[in-house]
Amino acid sequence: AQKVTQAQTEISVVEKEDVTLDCVYETRDTTYYLFWYKQPPSGELVFLIRRNSFDEQNEISGRYSWNFQKSTSSFNFTITASQVVDSAVYFCALSEPMEYGNKLVFGAGTILRVKS
Amino acid sequence: NAGVTQTPKFRILKIGQSMTLQCTQDMNHNYMYWYRQDPGMGLKLIYYSVGAGITDKGEVPNGYNVSRSTTEDFPLRLELAAPSQTSVYFCASSYSGGIYGYTFGSGTRLTVV
């Protein structure tokens, strides 16, 4: 079965620092999909990015960037010049085939606290 | 566009009581899911559905039941509430069977005392 490990339980940084959230995954599938979700203090889950297993290009979206490395089974997330509004729980997730469709297997999450 | 709507947002139950968590989506998605979120544990799949009349168990189905009579609705039933069911419950839907991710509802925080 798929497994997602987010070894960092909690990270605290000061505003404007860069921070990287680690995600390591395990799968035997050759085709799979990786995701990051953000859960701000209000509690909803917000989709950030999706990456398929055949696309190892890094992606940048504003202050956010993602580094996907199949060789190390990692899909790390970097926030540049962090802001207080980035404070949230961040989840990495991996698709797992079921009898019908796929489900997402989530890591335990990393709590990010950005202090002003 | 409402997306995925969950009700109620908060609920306190006594041990042994029953309740239904409601979930409705207006995106005509065939796939719907129920997850529970416990502190430090991420989200665990309870049940899922691939269309009206078709449901299946996820990782942690014990103590729960679901039904899917329409494409829009996917209620989660707790028959005999136990303290172990204290959690935050998320409903989600997907048009692609999950490969493009989910749209989540805002969650239901349930406390069993």
pLDDT at A27: 95
pLDDT digits (tens, 9 = 90+) for B31-72: 999 999 998 889 999 999 999 999 999 999 999 999 999 999
Determine the distance in angstroms separating the CA of A16 from the nearest CA of chain B, rounded to an integer. Answer: 27
pLDDT at A94 over 80: yes
Tell me if residue A79 falls in helix, strand or coil: strand
For residue B42, the Cα-to-chain-centroid distance in whole angstroms is 15
Residues of B in contact with A48 (CB under 8 A): none
Distance from C-alpha of B111 to C-alpha of A15, rounded to nearest angstrom: 35
Is the C-alpha dihedral spanning A73, A75, A80, A83 positive or negative? negative
**A29-44 tens-digit pLDDT:** 999 999 999 999 999 9
